[in-house]
Structure 1
Amino acid sequence: MTTTNNQPERFDTLQRLELESTIGFEGKVPHGLKLHPDRTHMVYPIGCNLVIENLQTRQQEFLLGHNNNISSVAISNNGKYIASGQATYMGFKADIIIWDYATREPYARLVLHKVKIEDLVFTCSDRFLISLGGQDDGAIIVWNIETKEPVCGSAAQHKSAGITYCLAASKQDECQFFSGGNGTLRFWQLDIANRKIRATDINTGIVKRIVKCMTVSLDGTILYCGTTSGDILMIYIPATQFKCIGPEKKKYSMGITTIQALINGDVLIGTGEGKIHIAEKETFKSLKSAQAMGEITSIALRGEGHMIFIGTDRSHIYKINYADWKMELINTCHNSPINDIAFPFGTSELFGTCGFQDIRIWHAPTGNELLRISEANKTCNSICFSRDGKMILSGWDDGRIRAFYPETGREMFSINDAHNRGVTAIAITNDCRRIVSGGGEGMIRIWQINPNSRELLATMKEHKNAIVCIRINKSDTECVTASLDGTCIIWNLKRFARNQVLFENTLFHCVAYHPEEYHIVTGGSDRKIGYWESTNGAQIRELEASKSGTINGLDIDNSGNYFVTVSADKLVKFWRYNEGDVISVGIGHGSEVKKVKICPNSQHIISVSADGSIFRWKFPKSTI
């Protein structure tokens, strides 16, 4: 008999999963990486979360309040407040949250802009916050920090001009600021008494540029504007007059994406090709440069610029010592969807993830990357560790099964043409002698691992679509495979034949054995969790696991008392197995959550998402 348990989508009464640490950095947010004035903390976005990380201890704190991806970040000059704006959906309002840095709590929530917050900046006195809406909004609004109310607003540009991309505040006058974009460059004057802002267009003559970033010199007299054509506009602020453009000959390749004035008058420039330059203050010629991986989207200075932190769109954070100009990578993660996650048998200290071009091995307590295995322009769809810990096994979209040594990442062996539409799922038996692989064409193949060769033992073809998940029982006598054709099949690994078929009107995305192996649990596109008898394939329970998103992954703890699910609605849900109810919810992912694993010692939960971030949640204490 099938029973249905409908879970409420409101989580006000439910316990929140405690987010312990994250691995990741949303590098695509322009100017998203910030250094706090206290010089010991770094602030950056990951999905819906704002992370405050201690530079010495690497300890992280999280500001949770946004319900969609953060699109802009600003820190007040005195360090008292952090402002963050988000992107949302067409027709919806985009929130700005001002956070109290001391308490790590929201100070104000400002709601007027639509769809996206393009940029934020505090005035020099920190009395006002200026916000810029995206292309669907096109407004500049000035907010009073003390009253938490808007002072005034205006359209950011003429109707004939293009999109406005960036803001900069005057260093000396709290009522002056600047905006730049596609064919628009403006000086703004705030009239507090009359609650108005008045714009003056800065005339650049025949020079027409798209301004993507701005900075004001430390003496407050010069406005530097970085352009997509790789040159810099220099504006003399006291006269609001265009002064010059440079460099004259050699432009910066792929445009200037971020810019920062230095105390000695020189300018720090980040480019689309991933180079950071020190540009000479008059001619803008490059004095020094360093190469990073990916487009540079953020530059943050520590103190007076003796230490430089840069962020790239490949989710890398680098540190540069200004004195010796040495670059060090301090933070990294996947910058594309993570397709799978696996723990070595009995080990909670390490785990592996895979995605486009690479496999990475992480140290769970610190979040440090220990090993990276790269294959250019190929995507790893599935990963697992052999039970003896001597092999990392992986399935790739080029149809190959690749095995690597876990100590060095060197390739142990490769099985070519294992599946003609890519290897989409892979597992290895507990005795480490056989590999079970699934492909995009729906075939299941069994491979014998010999000392010097790999032998195809059997091909089982009953699925009509891609295999997404394979699980093998403890005795290596059977396995269950989940497919996008709406079936899960239990196979006999001795006879290489089907034992049972589970049919459902869904695209299955995940499957798992209960530790006692009397049940099989499934999840898929119908947003439901199914419990099935492993002996006869009968469904015994069905739970509604999400109101809006496909169930992408699930995992059951070693005791069999709890399980965890993740879905396209960005939520991580922690369930009691027998009761079939949600007892904790993890909120914070900024995009679709792809996979989840409970670590072997049942102390933590690791979830990975489509934006490349990895979240480490604390296993609820009351359940241990």
Structure 2
Amino acid sequence: FSAMALETHAVPQLELEAVIGFNGHVISGLRVHPDKEHLIYPLGCTVVLKRIEDGKPEFLHGHTNNVSCISVSKNGLYIASGQVNFMGFKAVIIIWDYAERTIYAQLLLHKAKVEALAFSPNNKYLVSLGGQDDGSIVVWNIETKEAICGSPASPHSAGHCLTVQYSNTNDNIFVSAGNGTLRMWELDLPNRKVRPTECQTGKLKRIVNCIEISENDQFIFCGTTSGDIMKINLKTGLLSDYGPVKPKKKGVSVLKMLKNGNLLVGSGSGTFTVCSTTNFKTLKKVQLEKGVTSIDIRGEGQQFFVGTEAAQMYRFSYQDFKAELISSSHSSAVNDVAISFGTSELFATCSGEDIRVWHIDKPKELLRITVPNMTCNSLDFMVDGHSIISAWNDDKIRVFAPESGQLLLTIDNAHRVGVTAIAGTRDCKRIISGGGEGQVRVWELQPSGHRLLETMKEHKATVNCIKIKSDDKECVTASSDGACIIWDIVLQMVIANTLFRTVCYHPEEYQIITSGTNRKVAYWDVYDGSAIRELEGSQSGAINGMHISQDGKHFVTGGDDKLVKVWDYMEGVVTHIGIAHGGSITSIKICSNNCTLISTSADGAIVRWRFPHPLSS
């Protein structure tokens, strides 16, 4: 974090225009702030605060790895977030001052992962639960920022605790549950101890995913992997009831109590229901895409927000109980971004098994193309705008229509070890592809199919990037073998001690710039392959994406340091820095009118920036 602060010091920041991205995999990761105006959720190693009214985002930076859980105090003064870390290292909990948007406290005790967090009802304490490799519960004093006491979360080593929930009325009572464990805890402050009481469920053996406690603290409701809900008396710890008779498929993943006493229930199969707490009957029901992972209520419960594993966010009103999709995004790393040539109105991204087409001004998903169980590694728009060409891990090149998503052409067995990079010529007659085996191939597109024109075998490892010269007579490829090759009648090769990730032609096409794992940006002469200059591109981590503006005066880079950088090409200095990404930046593009910059990252986010150097008229 300090390295980022050092690097961004005194450099103007890029103006952020929009963010598409939501981590739907964090259980109960989507929260509504008590001010009723903001949604709070993790995205990679950042915490996003998004204004409900207009979608304007703010970011809380401080975590060094992915955020794994989140909680908001009842009075709204604090947000707490925990993270994952590498084995053998401690995972930090950060308490944020909501009003100031700053770090209030950093708490460090748990090993490897913070599993869950909960604030006490009067905001005195925070209880934290460590992951499977840690297995402990800790109670923290928020005022002193120190741990009061801790205890193993489960009664025996075989048990694994998954969730924790505080009482609604008593700062000294909370409940924890998981696999082989369901306990009520009482905080004994004078003796700095927490004392657990085992709940008795008789012959009923269940793994508990989530807990919700009734407003008057009478009952604990436990959602289970079996798909039913257990009702436990909080005073006695005894099983009172369970149901429904037909359990939810793929288990109950999240519960939320309504003011009227009913329960909102989300399941792993995507069903979202209102159910009665007296007989567990379903009162209202809707089917969503993939498993429900978050439910939170806005205000008194007339409106609520739901997040799913498919990285979708929905808004509901209690009255009509209809799902209004308010945001959709990629649920895994975005591998590539391409902006349509000329219009700059559309851009496309690929992640996992799908390609999505978006409108650049209102970041709204216009089209989704899915190839089940495959991974799209790279994509490009053909210059005429009539097709999207794409590279896939099943060794195929697929060509789609950008309006309908119709499959126009498949090239089977295009490469061994997957197709990893792709580009189309300006005349729209040829495709150049690179593969995991290191080959570069040229394909001719024909009215009734395709023909392989050439196979070039110089590279010894994965081809990561291909750029074609404007006259279509030359291309440059960047590879993990440490070579960038300019393909023409005369073969030029530039070699550096790096795994090349990305390469660009300068618009005047007498130079190329490259970058990769050595964190350097290198300028090379196209004609003889000689090195011209080298810049320190990043202080930490590889550079994964790079693009040059149409006038050739500026270029942009992004990489593992999560920073977007705008450079002056001739001066070789950074003019602006963009701070928003919570994961490694995977690709970056400037639109052809020099107004907009799009960057994507490993946490599934797509960020739109105002490009600070528009073309002079």
TM-score for the superposition, normalised by structure 2: 0.92
Task: Give deviations 1:436-474, integer Å, cap 9, x for gaps.
Answer: 222333333333344454444333333333322111112
Give the structure 2 partner of residue 3 of structure 1. none
SS at match of 2:375: strand
- Whether 1:560 and 2:557 are equivalent positions in the alignment is no
Pairing 1:283–2:279 present = yes
Q: How does 1:108-507 map to 2 (within 5 A)?
A: 108-247=105-244, 249-492=245-488, 497-507=489-499
CA distance in 2, matches of 1:346, 1:476: 18
2:64 aligns with one of 64, 67, 88: 67
Structure 2 contact 433–440 (Cα < 8 Å) conserved: yes
Count of residue pairs brought into register by the alignment: 613
Which residue of the partner structure matches residue 510 of structure 2?
518
Per the alignment, residue 101 of structure 1 pairs with: 98
State the secondary structure of the residue aligned to 2:477: strand
* Structure 2 match to 1:88: 85
Give 1:519 deviation, angstroms: 1.3
Question: How many Å apart are 1:611 and its aligned residue?
Answer: 2.7
**Secondary structure of 1:326's match?**
coil
Change (3 A) 1:356 1:559: same
1:48 and 1:588 in contact (8 A); partners too: no
Query: 2 CA distance for matches of 1:550 and 1:55?
Result: 35
Q: Is the 8 A contact 2:389 2:400 kept in 1?
A: yes
Q: Which amino acid aligns with 2:606?
A: I
Shift in CA distance, 326/115, structure 1 to aligned 2, threshold 3 Å: same
Q: Does 1:609 align with 2:601?
A: yes
Question: Cα distance, 1:226 vs. partner?
Answer: 1.3
- Letter of the aligned partner of 1:563 in structure 2? F
Cα offset for 1:566? Answer: 2.5
Q: Contact 2:311 / 2:330 at 8 angstroms: preserved in 1?
A: yes
Which whole-Å CA distance do the structure 1 matches of 2:491 and 2:448 have between them?
Answer: 32
The more displaced of 411-420 and 205-214 is 411-420
Cα distance in 2 for partners of 1:408, 1:259 equals 38
* 1:407 counterpart letter in structure 2: E
SS of 1:338's equivalent in the other structure is coil
Cα separation, 1, equivalents of 2:197 and 2:147: 21
Query: Shift of the alpha carbon at 1:173?
Result: 1.5
Post-superposition Cα deviations, 1:309-360, rounded to whole Å, max 9, x if no partner, equal 2111221112233322322322111112222111112344421111222211
Compared CA separation, residues 154 and 604, structure 1 to 2 (3 A): farther
Post-superposition CA distance 1:465-487 (Å, at most 9, x none): 33221111122221111223332
- The letter for the 1-side match of 2:224 is T
Residue-by-residue CA offset, 1:534-556 (whole Å, 9 max, x unaligned): 01111223344345533322122
Tell me which residue corresponds to 2:21.
24
Q: State the Cα distance separating 1:279 from its structure 2 match.
A: 2.7
Helix, strand or coil: the match of 1:90?
coil
Query: Which residue identity lines up with residue 203 of structure 2 in the other structure?
Result: I
Task: Give the alignment's Cα RMSD to 1 decimal.
Answer: 2.7
Instruction: Name which of structure 1's ranges 411-420 and 312-321 shifts more when overlaid on structure 2.
Output: 411-420
Partner Cα distance (1:186, 1:384) in 2:
54
CA contact (8 A) 1:442 1:483 kept: yes
- Further displaced range: 503-512 or 147-156: 147-156
Cα deviation, 1:136-162, whole Å, max 9, x if unaligned, reads: 333323233334333333332334451
Closer, same or farther in 2 for the Cα pair 1:457/1:266, shift >3 Å? same
What is the CA–CA distance in structure 2 between the aligned matches of 1:357 and 1:132, rounded to whole Å? 34
Aligned-pair distance for 1:236? 0.9
Does the residue aligned with 1:136 lie in a helix, a strand or coil? coil
Tell me if 1:534 matches 2:531.
no
Report the Cα distance in structure 1 between the residues aligned to 2:570 and 2:265, rounded to whole angstroms.
58
Shift of 1:585: 4.5
Distance 2:262 2:220 in 1: 12
* Separation in structure 2 between the aligned mates of residue 240 and residue 341 of structure 1, nearest angstrom: 54
Secondary structure at 1:11 match in 2 = helix
Q: Which runs of 5+ in 2 are unaligned?
A: none
Hey, what's the Cα distance between the residues in 2 that align with 1:484 and 1:101?
44
CA apart distance, 1:99: 2.4
Q: Which amino acid aligns with 1:294?
A: K
Shifted more, 451-460 versus 533-542: the winner is 451-460
Q: CA shift at 1:584, angstroms?
A: 4.8
Shift of 1:562: 3.1
Structure 1 SS opposite 2:7: coil
Residues 93-151 of structure 1: CA distance to partner in whole angstroms, max 9, x if unpaired? 32222223333333333333333221111111222222222223333232333343333
Distance 2:399 2:551 in 1: 31
Partner of 1:4: none
| CA distance in 1 between partners of 2:75 and 2:265 (Å) | 25
Partner letter of residue 519 of structure 1?
Q
Work out the CA distance in 2 between the residues paired with 1:112 and 1:602.
Answer: 48
1:366 deviation in Å?
2.9
Taking the aligned partners of 1:237 and 1:438, their CA distance within structure 2 comes to: 62
- Secondary structure at 1:549's aligned position in 2? coil
Counterpart AA for 1:136: D
- 1:47 and 1:588 in contact (8 A); partners too: no
User: Cα deviation per residue 1:183-220 (whole Å; 9 max; x = unaligned)?
Assistant: 12221222334433322222323333222210011232
Contact 1:9 1:546 in 2 (8 A): no
Q: For the structure 1 residues 144 and 601, does the alpha-carbon distance in structure 2 shift closer, same or farther, using more than 3 Å as the test?
A: farther
1:175 Cα shift?
1.8
The structural deviation recorded for 1:270 is 1.4
Task: Measure the CA separation in 1 of the matches of 2:148 and 2:466.
Answer: 59
